[in-house]
Amino acid sequence: MDNNAGFSPYMNKVHTWGRIWSIGALLVLLSVPTAICVHLGVWPEGKLVLQALAKVIPIYWGTAVVEVITYTPMLGAGGTYLGFVTGNITNLKLPCGLNAMENAGVRANSEEGEVISTISIGFSAITTTVIIAVGVVLFAPFLGKLTDPSSVFAPAFTYILPALFGALGAGYFRKHWKISIFPILVGVIVLLFAPTLAVGTLIFVTLVASIGGALLMIKLKIVS
């Protein structure tokens, strides 16, 4: 396939529809509290809202910017738009998109990678919605017992995310074990000094460490 054929028109559509759905999702989210306030006739004081935002903006807004910078090169534009609209990027959409592109042998900065990433994240969102709906119906009577701290299954729910990223990362570490050493060490050191660091920020830090470490090893001819 010619990587340049039809790429610009496709990307134009990706950005057009991505902006539309992103703005639409934002409006839907804001419409819920707005509708509640209108229905009850009660509105929060502007001063209190600003005080609350002042506490979360430095954390969540900074993380949001970092996540966009980090996830876009990894998932492509289409996958990033769809991932942010549907949510749960770190836990589900990112591993799904990366694994799909890895199996297909494509990169996110190619037209093929854009298509594969977008399709995989789209199917992931649909599958998740269906599974959640089925799970709510079937497991609602038992879910409290399964997640109860005294349940034998409780530890499994604590280690879902580490198991997910461990399984995903093992394949990359095995293939490129030399260049994986430095970012892993950087991540461990950062967590030792900042154990509550947001996941998105940690991914950005280790990503920069990965690129810098790989370039240094190539320059030193440790890897080719």
Residues 24, 86 contacting (CB under 8 angstroms): no
Report domain extents, the chain. Answer: 7-150
Give the whole-number percent of the chain exceeding pLDDT 90.
21
Q: What whole-number distance in Å separates Cα of residue 116 and Cα of residue 71?
A: 15
The pTM score is 0.66
The winner for highest mean pLDDT among 15-29, 126-140, 194-208, 209-223 is 15-29
Amino acid at 18: G
Q: What whole-number distance in Å separates Cα of residue 15 and Cα of residue 133?
A: 30
62-93 confidence digits (pLDDT tens): 777 888 888 888 898 899 999 999 888 877 88
CB count in 10 Å sphere of residue 110: 15
Instruction: Supply the pLDDT for residue 24.
Output: 93
Which element (helix H / strand E) includes 63? helix 62-86
Residues 1, 112 contacting (CB under 8 angstroms): yes
Instruction: Supply the pLDDT for residue 7.
Output: 53
Which tokens go with 223? 């890897």
Distance set, CA 180 to CA 92, 171, 173, 198, 220 (Å): 22, 11, 6, 21, 16
Taken as a whole, the chain contains a residue count of: 224
Amino acid at 170: A
Q: Residue 99: what are its φ and ψ, rounded to 5°?
A: -65, -40
More confident residue, 160 or 105: 105
User: CA nearest 87: which of 132, 49, 31, 35?
Assistant: 132
Which of helix, strand or coil describes residue 162?
A: helix
For the chain, the average pLDDT equals 84
Distance set, CA 115 to CA 10, 78, 121, 127 (Å): 10, 8, 10, 18
139 Cβ contact list (under 8 Å, min separation 6): 146
6-34 confidence digits (pLDDT tens): 457 888 888 899 999 999 999 999 999 89
pLDDT at 143 > cutoff 80: no
Which tokens go with 71? 């996830």
Q: Is the dihedral of CA 141, 147, 152, 156 positive or negative?
A: positive
Which tokens go with 134? 């089925």
User: CA nearest 211: which of 26, 11, 70, 4?
Assistant: 70
Confidence of residue 58 (pLDDT cuts 50, 70, 90): low
Q: What whole-number distance in Å separates Cα of residue 113 and Cα of residue 53?
A: 37
